[in-house]
Structure 1
């Protein structure tokens, strides 16, 4: 009787963990959409504020330089088109990666994360230690990494507006560059793992190995 109770409790715990992991992965998918919306709103504000600054500048109020205003508007345009900017960055130095986040024009962020997590999870689950980890758990971990990467990418693009200003610090290009490239790599984590694997000759780092 005691053994039956133990087995029942173990199965229940495993099931609840599986359901919890699935719910967390779904929540990250929803947060992906929220992050994309926040980027769009901030970008729209920057473009609008830039247009107003240009108007006041034309009236003789030159509180900001025309260069900084245009730079801010350009960053705002990037944020309103964050899916296109990310896809451009990904295509530039990663290329086609079926296991990474691919955001189609139109900004289907939620579907982009779901598809990427499913594809990468299948690859990880089929090799190495991934065989012993529940598929839902792998998807949750990947969804978290993708989401953190997306937020870092958005933050990096936003930080471009501070280049050349006092807010940019002593190394104004360093922070945006790290965030942008780090974000792209996080959203293509399996590609990055295989890249490091080939570089260091450590097969275990590549999910396909």
Structure 2
């Protein structure tokens, strides 16, 4: 009896912890399934892009839509919320594209909080709220400008308390920690076994 109660309490505690995590999944969709108003906002800026793809992203608290493409050898991701408002534009970069002092501050945070880690991906983020207009946000992102308003989103595979997990960690322009959340591994639903 005593063990049953302990087991039930442990299971309830684990379920509570999992409910607080913010998980997201991304699904590729057709252009016709992408919100028309968001598409109208983005289309003037999509001239000359390659590998144009549309995605729907669902997490525990919201739903959003993304357009991913390549332009001038860089990978871009343009995210809209479900109300057709631009949220941010992300540009895939590498370590050498980040100012040295900023990268050192980010690395110091990672070393302090994880016993082992591997950086999987870095994106330079241009949040819409940081700029005067959608057009300015697109212009700054396409010029890949180093502005104090940008943020860095780092995807890390790290060891915590004996096991490995994936995290998305957000840093500001100077490498100061802003936010961290667990992330699910990529969706492989399309693979047949």
TM-score, normalisation: structure 1: 0.27
Higher strand share: 2
- Using CA pairs below 8 Å that are at least 6 residues apart, which structure has the higher relative contact order? 1
Greater gyration radius = 1
